Chain A
């Protein structure tokens, strides 16, 4: 993404076709790696439109954008997932429209240079009437006949954040899609949060083509980062760039006023006021210029040093631990490792048939595929909503109904994550409501209603007062099988769930259609 933007800026600045072609190649690489390429293919046309509105549209921009658009579009259509979307879906229409506008603009400029003003005006108004009507008519026909598809759910949810919650539970269920708390901005960026507006101010002071681009990139990405936590990664580079501009402008302004000789002289001798009068820089004069400059530079240095400490601490604490091996500190301070995930995946790899199929929730799909090397039903790509919904229906139904669904899907093993023995809070029972919502969101699962799994008072409980539908569904039975006889904590009854802090309601039941194959050491993974 950054490479594409770098080449784009180079192309706009130089107007050379080579940089534009390189930009298209970098864009191709971006399309092949992430669905976020839609951001690029909308930001670049937005930039071109902004240049048109501010009067910066030049031949360089025409050359750059036309080359990038044409080469980029045909390259992006080579990726099977994208297919023909660049000419059919609404997300790409802005780029297409801007391309047409570019051609029109340049042609009008060319004709204008050949005619006098009055002649040009008559020709222009004539052309506007005839061609304009034809184009508008064609556009309306295409839109009304549905040839141009509206914005798809994934991206529409960015413009209208409540859309996913109301209509598409699988998008709403991903924790990375939640709106960002302001504290995560500070946690990830610290000083940059304050230097970002400073950088924007300095960009506005000198509006070149590249500065307009950076301003737009900053504004759009900060909006999107506010809507969805995972888009912080789109914001991070531009935060760094703009803060860098801010910090370096501040430092340059104040360093200019700093005169090291002046400081040395004022230390060694006292009567040096004449040197101050002979300074010939043109910054506005105010008393004690030197001292204030020195103070500001020291303050900036202090901020930068604390920023480095903060970043190294955050990286080591929050972004360095693998999420597949858990650790905790035991009573005497030593580290205790929970390696249950890998234990279960290795068991699957070496103790099951090569073509066995495993049913689990989609969160663990990629892990099972990579480490256990077995076929799974649904994975993190979450591409097939109906299929995931079917798995959700199986998890939410009673054992008999679930058995029918599992026979239909040809499942050999079911894998669940259970945190009740050690108090792990990201287990499948805590995610269970999302399975119910997603299971109930398609046609075959219409009988699954979320309210059935709550108590009459509307609470989600797994103890004696929990709803009978919940206490008899497959997920409950698979998680709590044989848990009723297990002691988890001192002076608590057997079957005490440490994550939910209650004693479970349905103990001592037998599984009729399934059989326990393997449970890991701390009962984290049950197969």
Chain B
């Protein structure tokens, strides 16, 4: 099926372009994003396999991973030089906001995990 071959080619090209054009800082955040996503997938798989017994703990952990992912993705968007025009926050401000939101997220997660 030529379509799959085509798709594979496109994906490889995408990966090459990503490696060459993205600055180091953003690649660091991307690695963190992948790690958080893996953690989330592991938690979800555990829930599917073993059951949802302490549902609040599962929810708390899962939302924690999704929250970290979303906040880091937002930080990445704000730090990306290509998006300078849509935001009017300096990189330092972006990082400070990121920390603020993380404090709230982790306080709630600690309370909810039971």
- Nearest-CB distance from B107 to chain A (Å)? 10
Complex contacts, A25 vs chain B, CB 8 Å? 104
Is A119 a contact partner of B74 (Cβ separation < 8 A)? no
- Nearest-CB distance from A138 to chain B (Å)? 12
Complex contacts, B98 vs chain A, CB 8 Å? 17
Among A75, A106, A122, point to the contact of B6 (Cβ < 8 A): A122
Is A60 a contact partner of B101 (Cβ separation < 8 A)? no
Among A59, A75, A77, point to the contact of B59 (Cβ < 8 A): A77
- Nearest-CB distance from A72 to chain B (Å)? 10
Q: Assuming the A-B contacts A16-B93, A123-B7, are A60 and B86 also in contact, with contact meaning beta carbons closer than 8 angstroms in the complex?
A: yes
B17 at the A interface (CB under 8 A): yes
CA distance A74 to B59 in the complex (A): 8
Among A63, A73, A78, A111, point to the contact of B77 (Cβ < 8 A): A63
Complex contacts, A71 vs chain B, CB 8 Å? 67, 101, 104-105, 108
A84 at the B interface (CB under 8 A): yes
Among B59, B74, B111, point to the contact of A67 (Cβ < 8 A): B74
A246 at the B interface (CB under 8 A): no
B10 at the A interface (CB under 8 A): yes
Is B6 a contact partner of A84 (Cβ separation < 8 A)? no
Is A78 a contact partner of B108 (Cβ separation < 8 A)? yes
A-B contact count (CB 8 A): 108
CA distance A17 to B100 in the complex (A): 8
Write the chain A residue with the least CB distance to B111.
A78
CA distance A500 to B26 in the complex (A): 78
Write the chain A residue with the least CB distance to B15.
A114
Q: How many residues of A contact B (CB 8 A)?
A: 34
Is A15 a contact partner of B14 (Cβ separation < 8 A)? no
Is B104 a contact partner of A24 (Cβ separation < 8 A)? yes
A115 at the B interface (CB under 8 A): yes
Q: How many residues of B contact A (CB 8 A)?
A: 44
CA distance A123 to B56 in the complex (A): 38
Is B74 a contact partner of A87 (Cβ separation < 8 A)? no
A126 at the B interface (CB under 8 A): yes
Is B10 a contact partner of A115 (Cβ separation < 8 A)? yes
Complex contacts, B21 vs chain A, CB 8 Å? 114
- Nearest-CB distance from B114 to chain A (Å)? 11
CA distance A68 to B66 in the complex (A): 13
Is B111 a contact partner of A70 (Cβ separation < 8 A)? no
Complex contacts, B83 vs chain A, CB 8 Å? 59
B53 at the A interface (CB under 8 A): no
CA distance A25 to B3 in the complex (A): 48
Q: Assuming the A-B contacts A16-B97, A74-B112, are A84 and B55 also in contact, with contact meaning beta carbons closer than 8 angstroms in the complex?
A: yes
Is B109 a contact partner of A17 (Cβ separation < 8 A)? no
A62 at the B interface (CB under 8 A): yes
CA distance A381 to B19 in the complex (A): 59
Complex contacts, A16 vs chain B, CB 8 Å? 87, 89, 93-94, 97
A20 at the B interface (CB under 8 A): yes
Which B residues contact A (CB, under 8 angstroms)? 3-4, 6-7, 10-11, 13-14, 17-18, 21, 55-56, 59-60, 63, 66-67, 70-71, 73-75, 77-78, 82-83, 86-89, 93-94, 96-98, 100-101, 104-105, 108-109, 111-112
Cβ-closest 3 pairs across A and B: A17-B97, A63-B74, A18-B97
Chosen A-B contacts, 8 in total, with CB atoms closer than 8 Å, are: A16-B87, A16-B89, A62-B77, A66-B73, A67-B71, A78-B111, A122-B3, A126-B3
